[in-house]
Amino acid sequence: MGLMSLTNEQQKLLLKIANDSIAYGLTHGEALTVNVKNYPEELQGIRATFVTLEIGGQLRGCIGMLEAVQPLVMDVAKNAFLAAFRDPRFPPVSVAEFPNLDIHISILSPSEPMSFKSEDDLISQLRPHEDGLIMKEGGLRGTFLPSVWDSLPDPHQFLQHLKLKTGLPRHYWSDTLQVRRYCCDIISDEL
C-alpha cells in the first residue's frame, strides 16, 4: 500500500485524529475514542502504525505497534496518545508544548522474514531509507523505523544500534537471530 491509496484529505484526517487524541488526552487523561464507521473505508482497514512526535526537530515521543490489530483510525488515535503521555523516555506532553508538536504517522506494511547466512549477508540485503527492521533473539525484540536511517545512514551502524536497542551487545551474532523487514508510508504535518 503506497500513500497513493490515501488521498490528501484522508492523510490530513489521520493527522487531525492524532492531534485531537493528544488534545483529548491533555484534558481527559486518555486517548480519544473514535467511531470507526464515521471514517472513509480506506481508514478502517486493520493496520499497524507508529506515531512520532517532535518539537523543533527533536524527538518528543514515539510509540507504535508492529502488528496490525485494529482499524487504522483507532491505531493512530491510541498511539498518538501513548506517544504524548506514555513514552517512558519523556515526561508527558504539557499544555504549553502541545501547539509546538510536529506529528508524523508511519503506516507499516506487513513485515517479512529475511534470510541470511551471516551479518555481512544481512547488511548486503538492507535497503537504506526504505527498510524498517524488527530484530528478535530469544525473548528480546527491537525495531527501527525507516526514518532512523536519517540519523544512522551506514548499514553497519544501523544494525549495531538496532542490536543495542534490542538489548544485545553491539557485535552480537548468532544463528538464531531473526530479522524481519517492513516498509512505511509516512504522513507528516508538512502536508
Q: pTM value?
A: 0.87
Q: State the pLDDT at residue 65.
A: 93
Question: What pLDDT, on the 0 to 100 scale, is given for residue 189?
Answer: 82
- Predicted pLDDT of residue 190: 66
Kindly state the cell numbers that stand for 32. Answer: 480519544
- Determine what percent of the chain is predicted with pLDDT higher than 70: 97
Pick the CATH number of 112-183 from 3.40.225.10, 2.40.40.20, 3.30.1490.150, 3.40.50.720: 3.30.1490.150
pLDDT above 90 covers a percentage of the chain that reads 94
Q: Do domains 3-108 and 112-183 have the same CATH topology?
A: no
pLDDT at 170: 95
Sign of the alpha-carbon dihedral angle for 38, 42, 43, 45: positive
Per-residue H/E/C for 108-169: ECCCEECCCCCHHHHHHHCCCCCCEEEEEECCEEEEECHHHHHCCCCHHHHHHHHHHHHCCC
Q: Average pLDDT, stretch 113-124?
A: 97
Question: What is the predicted pLDDT for the residue at 5?
Answer: 79
Are the beta carbons of 35 and 20 closer than 8 angstroms? no
- Taking only the tens place, the pLDDT of each residue in 12-43 is 999 999 999 999 999 999 999 999 999 999 99
Give the start-to-end residue ranges of the domains of the chain.
3-108, 112-183
Q: For residues 126 and 159, give the distance between their C-alpha atoms in angstroms, rounded to a whole number.
A: 10
Q: How many CA atoms lie within 13 A of 21 on its CB side?
A: 27
Tell me what the pLDDT averaged over the chain comes to. Answer: 94
Q: How confident is the model over 120-125, as a mean pLDDT?
A: 97
pLDDT reported for residue 83 = 98
Q: Which homologous superfamily is 3-108 in? A: Hypothetical protein ph0010; domain 1 (3.30.700.20)
Q: Which three cell numbers stand for residue 144?
A: 527501527
